[in-house]
Chain A
Amino acid sequence: MQDTLLEMRSITKTFPGVKALDEVSLKVRTGEIHAICGENGAGKSTLMKVLSGVYPAGTYEGEIHYDGGLAQFRDIADSERSGIIIIHQELALVPLLSIAENLFLGNENAGRGIIDWHETNQRAEGLLRKVGLSDAPTTLVDKLGVGKQQLVEIAKALAKDVRLLILDEPTAALSESDSQTLLDLMLELKAQGMTQIIISHKLNEIRRIADTVTVIRDGQSVSSFDTAGDGITEDRIVRDMVGRSMENRYPARTPKIGERIMKVSDWSVHHPEHANRRVIHGVDFDVRAGEVVGIAGLMGAGRTELAMSIFGRSWGQGISGQVEMRGKPVDVSTVTRAIDNGLAYVTEDRKSLGLILDDTIQRNITLANLGEVSNGVVLNEHAETAVAEKYRTDLAIRTPGVFQKVGNLSGGNQQKVVLSKWLFAGPEVLILDEPTRGIDVGAKYEIYGLINDLAAAGKGVVMISSEMPELLGMCDRIYVMNEGAFVGEMPVAEASQERIMSLIVNH
């Protein structure tokens, strides 16, 4: 067996007007876990597309040596035949088919076009065991959580005799515990001799599982080093990724906390489809002016559901409880009323819930407050453009102009557009749901800065996040949520990851 399974030499890929990859090299040893990191837009995905044949041989310069020979893949099917399988960030499972059907999709256990269900389910069970899933192969995929779906994807890859497994930000949508399960599985596969590439933003994961790290920046491979031995630090990776040293990952802020703006009391919510199932159990919390309040918890703790039910009853039914703004009870029963009463909710899923991707930056920014750029009926496009330009400058949205489509922006810039939209709506309290998910390190820092600016301007900020270091770095006070109830509250000075975790697990 070769020592080096894959070597990509001086890969250059140009699109009209842009050099996406510039002499990038990558060397992956047999049996290792190789991490590729870089900011969004650095060229990681393009590199993987070159490798998997999405961009066929001939459309790029450079050479790919795989398994001791020169590889020239014509398409994905071609690279899959050689055992290179990519699991994309957006899962490619068919939700209304069973696990087993998904596992062998395009690869069915069939004779003369007729599927052998017995063999299918049996083989599926074996594969599921390998990835540590105990669900029945006949379970529909949409009944599974994202974490389990990710494992099904891996099982699907195993069904195809994978030799090089590539995972593109596999834990981006996973909770802490699901991520751990996944990483454990990767280590186990490694122990069985499988070579893996992981693309990730999360430095702690990389440090935990990767043997080698390659950092890509602006389409060039910046550095490549072993994680074993010489004590690489997260700072080194961050520095290589952004091209500058980042001593402090969270910008400093001197809190100036004023009077209480919002108070939520005894908030209970039932599941939208099962009227008898209570999902949120009598939650109380408050936010003060200039304060950043965190809500910690695992995925599925009910944080998003809580936020959305407060924001115009956008989730759930049978909602009870009271919301007070500046001491007065207010009506937040529709989104319009919630906005009018000074609330804003920045959704966790900005692509499907936060933005109209086909629309321009300008039209997205003004959407929640069209009254302000019109006389009530007719729009004033001059005013609209002025508003959009103001936020583009204030939030440093990197774009050639506010008439660009939002869909063409990077994740960080898209998030800034969503924030602009809500800032323009003029809220007193902003609920930010996973505000830095899927955003690269540099853009994260900018978003943190914006949150601090909001607090400094006397707004109340509620920050929901699954990344505990982020909450600890940003918040003044942290609530801990588990299974639909608040199980703890602490000022940040008394908080630690261990304390939050123990509140969750001991509850």
Chain B
Amino acid sequence: MTIAEEKLESPEQGRGGVGAYLAANLREYGLLFALIAIMAFFQIVTDGTLLRPINVTNLLLQNSYIVIMALGMLIVIVAGHIDLSVGSVMGFVGALAAVMVVNLGYSIGVTMIASIAVGALIGGAQGYWIAYWKIPSFIVTLAGMLVFRGLSLWLLAGQSVGPFPREFQIIATGFVPDLLPGGAALAELIDVRNLNVLALCTGIVAAVWVVWSGLKQRNRNKSYGIEDEPRAFFVARIAVISLTLVFILYKLSTFRGLPNVLITMGVLTVIYAFLTERTVLGRRIYALGGNEKAAKLSGIKTERLTFLAFVNMGILAAIAGLVFAARLNTATPKAGFALELDVIAAVFIGGASMSGGVGKIVGAVVGAFLMGVLNNGMSIMGIGIDYQQMIKGLVLLAAVIFDVYNKQKG
């Protein structure tokens, strides 16, 4: 059968046009639109404070550790599990790093390697019970949450430990120096105080990459006759994403340039997006979450995969712990408290399914920023923490209801 004939047979295609397409793909667009709408809303009600360069920078720094952990959490949730311990693990690793650097005087390199190794070990210890003993992840990580919360308290002896040496703080609060020339001239040209050419170029390169990969995917889909996104939507979607990237990076470039954390976050996001969507390992994780028994009977080592998902989560929680401690410049026993809930919320807002097998890295990252913008915007407006919590809770509920409704309708 040729592709042309096949198109005629398929009732979904070519019928209803734009409206039907939008209805069928509301989820993906919905998330993007929601983020843009929320940003626009706060931009207006805060009189433009939200998108000031300094606040954009802050927004990225504030949410970096959530985003980093959301990457691991997405994989855990796609694999059909959950990890409630990440907040505690993050706090514990931060505490460990503080004790090693501040109290014991270890070098920063050694401390970072040790912290990440400890994260992997913690993830492995929890993953072992979940994967090989089939203890529900909810229970194991609930236990882990208590244990590592206690361990942080013990390690810090109930005190805050800090401050860190300058070189350690750079992990979270440093900026990449402008390696490209012409900043001063450009800044004068468009009449801003300073301009970081590297940041701006990064934004442009990222935007070009979005356009290029979008076109590539669209052509591929077309060649299989499965492209159903109307051209106008495609253009609008790609334009919005790439312009947003350029816009954000432009804002950053007029402040202090690229935060180190943004690089960490960006690189990790790209790596994990690639891993989940394009590799054998990623495919197997989705299969595991989609139907564990079928995956196992297809020769997939489901136990080992589950184990690795938790090891990975531990490593990312450790990285987040380092970033968090460096940003606060001190390790406190309270660090990371209840943060696991923000991370899990981000993943579900991003479209992952509680039953496993469904979810995307990009969704989780957008979900995390959606929560971040909400937090940040409401704080600027001076809304109390009481209302903030309620609103965040309702947003999570609404996002998941929306998912379920969409699924039932489809």
Q: Bound state CA distance, A73 and B110, in angstroms?
A: 73
Chain B hits for A336, CB < 8 A? 299, 301
Q: Are B296 and A314 in contact (CB under 8 A)?
A: yes
B278 contact from A311, A376, A379, A401, Cβ within 8 A: A379
B224 touching A401, Cβ below 8 Å? yes
Within 8 A of A (CB), among B327-369: 357-358
Q: Is the CB of A355 within 8 A of B278?
A: no
Closest chain-B Cβ to A218's Cβ sits at a distance in Å of 16
Pick the interface stretch among B138-146, B237-245, B285-293. B285-293
Task: Pick the interface stretch among A143-151, A367-375, A460-468.
Answer: A367-375
CB distance from B194 to the nearest CB of A (A): 41
Q: Is the CB of B357 within 8 A of A359?
A: yes
A17 interface residue, CB < 8 Å from B?
yes
Determine whether the beta carbon of B287 is less than 8 Å from that of A367: yes
Q: How far in angstroms is the closest Cβ of chain B from A227?
A: 38
Kindly supply a per-residue 1/0 record for chain B positions 185-227, scoring 1 wherever the CB is within 8 Å of any chain A CB and 0 otherwise: 0000000000000000000000000000000000010001110
Q: How distant is A347 from chain B, measured CB to nearest CB, in Å?
A: 6
Chain B's closest residue to A363 (CB) is B283
Residue count of chain A within 8 Å CB distance of chain B: 39
Q: Does A505 contact B (CB under 8 A)?
A: no
B6, B220, B278 interface centre (most CB from chain A within 10 Å)? B278
The yes or no answer to B103 lying at the interface (CB within 8 A) is no
Whether the pair B287, A401 counts as a contact (CB closer than 8 A) is no
A276 is an interface residue with CB less than 8 A from chain B: no
Interface flag for B270 (CB, 8 Å): no
Q: Determine how close the nearest CB of chain A comes to the CB of B257; give it in whole angstroms.
A: 33
Is B225 a contact of A401 with CB atoms below 8 Å?
A: yes
Report whether B291 and A357 are in contact in the complex, using a CB–CB cutoff of 8 Å. yes
Question: Do the beta carbons of B280 and A371 come within 8 Å of each other?
Answer: yes
- Would you call A335 and B298 a contact (CB within 8 A)? yes
How far is B295's CA from A17's CA once the two chains are assembled, in angstroms? 34
Q: Are B296 and A381 in contact (CB under 8 A)?
A: no
**Are B279 and A379 in contact, CB atoms less than 8 angstroms apart?**
yes
Q: How far is the CA of A312 from the CA of B300 in the complex (A)?
A: 11
What's the nearest-Cβ distance from chain A to residue B238, in Å?
A: 20
Minimum CB–CB distance for A248 against chain B, Å: 27
Is the CB of B256 closer than 8 A to any CB of chain A? no
Pairwise interchain contact B357-A311, C-beta atoms closer than 8 A:
no
Q: Once the chains bind, are B296 and A421 in contact (CB under 8 Å)?
A: no
| Interface size range on B against A | 20 to 34
Q: Which residues of chain B come closer than 8 Å to A347, judged between CB atoms? A: 297
Which residues of A sit under 8 angstroms from B295, Cβ to Cβ?
Answer: 356, 367
Residue of B nearest to A357 (CB): B291
- Interface pair A403/B224, CB less than 8 Å apart: yes
B9 touches A345 (CB 8 A): no
A-facing residues in B226-276 (Cβ within 8 Å): 226
B residues in contact with A314, CB < 8 Å = 296-297
User: Chain A residue with minimal CB distance to B12?
Assistant: A400
Q: Hey, what's the 0/1 contact readout for B294-322 against A, CB within 8 Å counting as 1?
A: 11111111000000000000000000000
B298, closest chain A residue (CB): A368
Q: Which residues of B contact A134 (CB under 8 A)?
A: none
Residue from the list B1, B280, B281, B297 in contact with A335, Cβ < 8 A: B297
- Interface residue A192 (Cβ < 8 Å from any Cβ of B): no
User: Is the beta-carbon distance between A400 and B291 smaller than 8 angstroms?
Assistant: no
Shortest B410–chain A CB gap in Å is: 10
28 contacts between A and B (CB under 8 A): A17-B15, A311-B297, A338-B299, A345-B297, A354-B297, A356-B291, A356-B357, A357-B291, A358-B290, A359-B290, A359-B357, A363-B283, A363-B286, A367-B287, A367-B298, A368-B298, A368-B299, A370-B283, A377-B280, A377-B281, A378-B280, A379-B279, A379-B283, A382-B220, A401-B10, A401-B226, A403-B226, A421-B298
Closest 6 CB pairs of A and B: A400-B10, A356-B290, A368-B298, A336-B299, A335-B299, A356-B291
Interface on A for B, CB 8 Å cutoff?
17-18, 311-312, 314, 334-336, 338-339, 345, 347, 352-359, 363, 367-368, 370-371, 374, 376-379, 381-382, 385, 393, 400-401, 403, 421, 425
B positions within 8 Å CB-CB of A = 1, 6, 9-13, 15, 220, 224-226, 278-281, 283-284, 286-287, 290-291, 293-301, 357-358
- Knowing that A367-B295, A400-B13, A401-B10 touch, tell me 4 more A-B residue pairs with CB under 8 angstroms: A347-B297, A356-B357, A367-B300, A381-B220
